[in-house]
Chain A
Amino acid sequence: MGAYFSDDTINQSKELTRQWEEEVRRSLAQSHDQKSRWSTVSDQEIKRLYTPEDIKDIDFARDIGVPGEFPFLRGNQPTGYRGRYWTFRMFSGMGSAADTNARWHMLLQNGQTGLSTAFDFPTLMGYDTDSPKARGECGKCGVAIDTLDDFLTLVDKIPLDKVTTSMTINPSASVLWAMYCAAADIKGVPLSKIGGTIQNDMLKEFIAQKTFMCPPEPSVRLISDTIEFGTKYVPKWNTISISGYHIREAGSTAVQELAFTLRDGIEYVEDVIRRKKLDVDEFAPRLSFFFNAHIDFFEEICKMRAARRIWAHVMKERFHAKNPRSWWMRFHTQTAGCSLTAQQPYNNVVRTAIEALAGVLGGTQSLHTNSLDEVLALPTEHAVQIALRTQQIIAEETGVANTIDPLGGSYFIESLTNKMEEEAWKYIEQIDNMGGMISAIDKGFPQMEIADAAYRFQQQLESGEKIMVGVNKYVTDEEQPIPILQIDEKVEKEQLERLKAVKRRRDSRAVKRDLEEIRKACKTGENVMPYCIQAVKDMATLQEVCDVYREVFGEYRDPGLF
């Protein structure tokens, strides 16, 4: 092990730093800093200056190394972004399946390289449009899908063997994925050729996003079913996207996002090994992750670098994975919705650009950039195009993709990366000691840690300690309204009619039989996926399948902690 710096360098640094500190003291005696405490958006205190002493304990080969090699601090790909840029993947979905299909074709024509689906709340929660619980929600914050019939419209003229599609879907993920598999089959594309991602991460739902259906334990079991099915039959599919994004949006700190997400990942890996008896190297290469890129530029970059290094250690040392692909943490990034402001919304373009840049410097594999109007409604076509162009400008004009991990080796970056990693490990150990993430959730631990952080930030905002431009500083009296997208009320009516028509023309006896098969598999522990695919092909609705889950596994109720 070689020292990262020679003794001479460290001594020089100490001497020069001492001189600098004296200079700072002299300067401060004449005029104070603008504020007494400088911290990140996560309230992590930052020093005025970082020097070689802050990273003198680094072992270069062990802790930093090169891209494409353990511990992957500097990236998974030895070629960086030169081989290919990150995937430009804009999350989109609104109104009917036909409306969303049209938006998708517009995005592909504009140079988007992957699709990403936003579903409406009934679809996310496993209800059909004709459920009383769905009243007023149809098509509002995503596309409404009730049956395979809708799904086929959604993917009309999309080449499923060429374009990869991500679906943000959680408690009802098995059913929507079954629809994707069935649609591929109908279009003559073999399952071995389709690629994409289902989010399918329920633990973060209980922790933060609150889109849940059944209790945690059976929820994780259904996820293990999909991971097993993907491992065996859909080898190019990412069957889970273990997500910190929503944890952060709920108000967590960057370290909490990092720690809870990785601990969720550990929980899923353990469950698949225990329940499905798969070898870790059989499925781990298809695990994927999803992080937030918030406004605190350096903190985000360090979070992403730390995430890769922690996961590599987890996979190698905790789970004894041998395939280097299992050590990789591949992740998608989305800029922070919660950093955007309804006030002076054009400023959001600037925020999103800075956040997207952090995602790229953090080495993301895929990126969604928020549109300037997303704090008000689903984005208009014009706003989405600016957001997509933001990525294209970063990729093609700025030169940041020329070299890999350009901030690596910076005293500050390496020091903050180490610090965030250390703090994340503490949380991971704490949750291990609670008996794992499910029992931590039962105790309300991650939920309350996040609630505390969210409340602290809000109070800092109220006191002016933290600033949001246009909200608590640089406020303008007269706001110019911007055009926003409205979802027509007729979307709900038309969707109800389509659903009715499908129910009328399908073979109800076949559906009934299919649902019984799913029920049986739920009870025996057999994989539900093949039965789900059959059921959706026979036009069982999303809710009919999810009702089986609810009946067998029970429903989870929000404990309403605050």
Chain B
Amino acid sequence: MTEKRIRIMVAKPGLDGHDRGARILARAFRDAGYEVIYTGVHQTPEQIAAAAIQEDVDLVGLSCLSGAHGYLFPRVVELLREKGAEDITVIGGGIIPDQDFQKLYDAGIKAIFTPGASLESILEWVGANVKPRD
């Protein structure tokens, strides 16, 4: 039996349209052999959580460059928990000041990648930390 492929959703919460990083990452995940779903911009946390469950993904990568990550990222985790999908790993990236990291970790964001992070470092983290859900 072949191992189940890891499914990744790259998502853009909020009103921010800066999608260069999100789209590059979606491609990089695809080229690395993952199954990738990209939501497009302007998604509410509710839409992202619902789509993540419906698409049965193992990882949600959130990207936000508007400064609204403090509300949007924890909200996605909270909604996944409410729906019993706390085993979906959630990571985040974008313009996120160092002093916000701890709050996001405390809220259940497993890793944060900021400007200058290499694709290699992100792929490495995913490879080491994300397994297919049961």
Contact = CB atoms under 8 A, between A and B. Distances in A.
Interface of A: 121-122, 124-125, 127, 132-137, 140-141, 205, 209-212, 249-251, 338, 341-343, 375-378, 451, 454-455, 458, 461-462, 468, 470-472, 481, 484, 486-487, 557-562
A342 B114 contact: yes
A136 B115 contact: no
B20 A136 contact: no
Contacts of B71: 135-136
A375 B94 CA distance: 10
Contact of B14 (A137, A342, A472, A484): A137
Interface residues of B, number: 36
Of A132, A251, A341, chain B has the most CB atoms within 10 Å of the CB of A251
Contacts of B57: none
B109 to A, nearest CB: 15
Nearest to A94: B67
Given A455-B27, A458-B24, A342 B41 contact: no
Contacts of A251: 20, 24
B7 to A, nearest CB: 15
A462 B24 CA distance: 12
Given A121-B66, A125-B15, A133-B44, A376 B118 contact: no
Contacts of B24: 251, 451, 454-455, 458
A121 B97 CA distance: 19
Contact of A451 (B18, B23, B41, B72): B23
A287 B11 CA distance: 36
Interface on chain B toward A: helix, strand, loop, or mixed SS?
loop
A289 to B, nearest CB: 21
Contacts of A124: 15
A137 B119 contact: no
Interface string B22-42: 111011100000001011111
Contacts of A132: 44
A471 B116 contact: yes
A470 B116 CA distance: 9
Of A205, A378, A455, chain B has the most CB atoms within 10 Å of the CB of A455
Given A462-B120, A558-B40, A136 B19 contact: no
Contact of A141 (B38, B42, B67): B67
B70 interface: yes
Contacts of B38: 560, 562
Nearest to A375: B115
Contacts of A341: 115-116
